[in-house]
Structure 1
């Protein structure tokens, strides 16, 4: 089966992506991407596929996968129907390689990054430490999360019991995927026009797809619906305006492409856990202290 190329979008105000999944089970999703990936799987058991390596796993399971390495996990629903948890950090290769090249303190990571091209499995001791760091990332601000990521890489680097997974003979040479070019064109268009009404049919036309096909395509590639992606982008812009301007909230709502203030307040609360007015007030209180 040919792996699918996944488009990774960094978290808000970050150079990399952090996400926590809570799932009834993990579906087989054979894919690759240009980013490094650190994956911690909990309360789950099944099969782990990394390159040409297939192995049974049980929780907890910590693996580091290098860029363009096809991989997936696959599990069934637990007998007690309890939730399976997956923490993921996806880190752009150019960014992390640049960090290592520019900072002498990080040059010890070079060998581990090279080894990740075969997938690296880590010891229970490192996995336990990684879990604590991932849990702290959940509520951390972007800068604190960056520091936690550096701590996580350091934990992995010091693990003398880590082991390689895929064989050194395995390479995935066919990295061409026309879907990536289509998605890049669509996302570029969204970024340039998110402050006005955007409709699925016009975006589908850019990708040369039917509207129904485009919705499925976008969700599979970004792990978000089109509406979720656009709203997150708009709320991110709104946060900057709330911080850096004194514009009334109704004006900011219009500038960010929301059709009415009620919808803006509802989406802001859903994504940020706060209303726009409370968000702005809390920032002003912090600055006044």
Structure 2
């Protein structure tokens, strides 16, 4: 089966992406992307596919996968009906490689990044410690998440019980995917026009698809619906204005493309777990205390 190229969108106001999945089982989703990926799988067992490696995995499975290496996990539902949890950090290649090249303190990371081209599985002990770091990431701001990511890399570097996954001669040469070009056009359009009304029909035309096909295509490639993606982008822009400007909240709502203040407040609360006014107040309190 030919792997699908996944488009990775960094988390709001961040250079990389952190996401937590909570699901009854892990479906087979053979894919690759140009980012490094750290994946921690909890309360789950099944088969792990990385390159030409197919192996059993169990709880606290921690893996680092290099850029463009096809991979997926696959499990069945747990007998007790409990959820399976996956924490994922996806880190742009140029960003992390520049970090390690530009800072002598991080040069030890270079070798591990090179080794990850085959995929690396870490010891269960490291996986258990990584669980505590990922759980802290869930509720932290972007700066604290960056610190926790560096701590996670450092923990992985200390592990002397790592194993490569894919064979040294495996390579995935066909990385062309027409779909990624279509998605790039759409995302560029959204970023340029986020403050104006956006319609699925217009973006479907950009991608040369029917609207129904486009909705399925976008969700599969970004793991978010079109509406979720646009709202998350707009709320990210709103956060920046709440921090850097004194504009009234109603003005910020308009500047970020929301059709009314009630919808803005509702979407902000859903994504940030606080209202825009609470967010601004928290930022000002932190500034006074710093």
Q: TM-score range by the shorter chain?
A: over 0.9
The CA deviation at 1:285 is: 2.7
- What SS does the aligned partner of 2:46 have? strand
The CA deviation at 1:281 is: 2.1
The answer to whether 1:100 aligns with 2:100 is yes
Q: Distance in 1 between matches of 2:127 and 2:288?
A: 41
In structure 2, the partner of 1:47 is 47
In structure 1, the partner of 2:176 is 176
**TM-score, reference length from structure 2:** 0.98
In structure 1, the partner of 2:37 is 37
In structure 2, the partner of 1:127 is 127
The CA deviation at 1:156 is: 0.9
Q: Distance in 1 between matches of 2:106 and 2:282?
A: 36
**TM-score, reference length from structure 1:** 0.98
Structure 2: runs of 5+ lacking an equivalent = none
Higher mean C-alpha deviation, range 94-103 or range 133-142: 133-142
Indicate how the Cα distance of structure 1 residues 287 and 105 shifts in structure 2: closer, same or farther if over 3 A, else same. closer
In structure 1, the partner of 2:57 is 57
The answer to whether 1:278 aligns with 2:278 is yes
The answer to whether 1:237 aligns with 2:237 is yes
- What SS does the aligned partner of 2:34 have? coil
Q: Distance in 2 between matches of 1:269 and 1:187?
A: 24
Q: How many residues align?
A: 289
Q: Distance in 2 between matches of 1:124 and 1:221?
A: 31
Q: Distance in 2 between matches of 1:280 and 1:112?
A: 40
Which consecutive segments of 4 or more residues in structure 1 shift more than 4 A? none
The answer to whether 1:23 aligns with 2:23 is yes
The CA deviation at 1:273 is: 0.6
In structure 2, the partner of 1:143 is 143
In structure 2, the partner of 1:202 is 202
Indicate how the Cα distance of structure 1 residues 283 and 94 shifts in structure 2: closer, same or farther if over 3 A, else same. same
- What SS does the aligned partner of 1:47 have? strand
Q: Distance in 2 between matches of 1:127 and 1:224?
A: 27
Q: Distance in 1 between matches of 2:216 and 2:62?
A: 30
In structure 2, the partner of 1:7 is 7
- What SS does the aligned partner of 1:145 have? helix
Query: Residues 2-41 of structure 1, C-alpha deviation per residue, up to 9 Å, x if partnerless?
Result: 0000000111111111111101100000000000000000
In structure 2, the partner of 1:251 is 251
RMSD, aligned α-carbons: 0.9
In structure 2, the partner of 1:70 is 70
Query: Residues 54-78 of structure 1, C-alpha deviation per residue, up to 9 Å, x if partnerless?
Result: 0111112011100000000001111
The CA deviation at 1:286 is: 2.8
Q: Distance in 1 between matches of 2:126 and 2:12?
A: 28
Q: Distance in 2 between matches of 1:137 and 1:113?
A: 22
Q: Distance in 1 between matches of 2:154 and 2:280?
A: 36
Higher mean C-alpha deviation, range 129-138 or range 195-204: 129-138
Higher mean C-alpha deviation, range 21-30 or range 154-163: 154-163
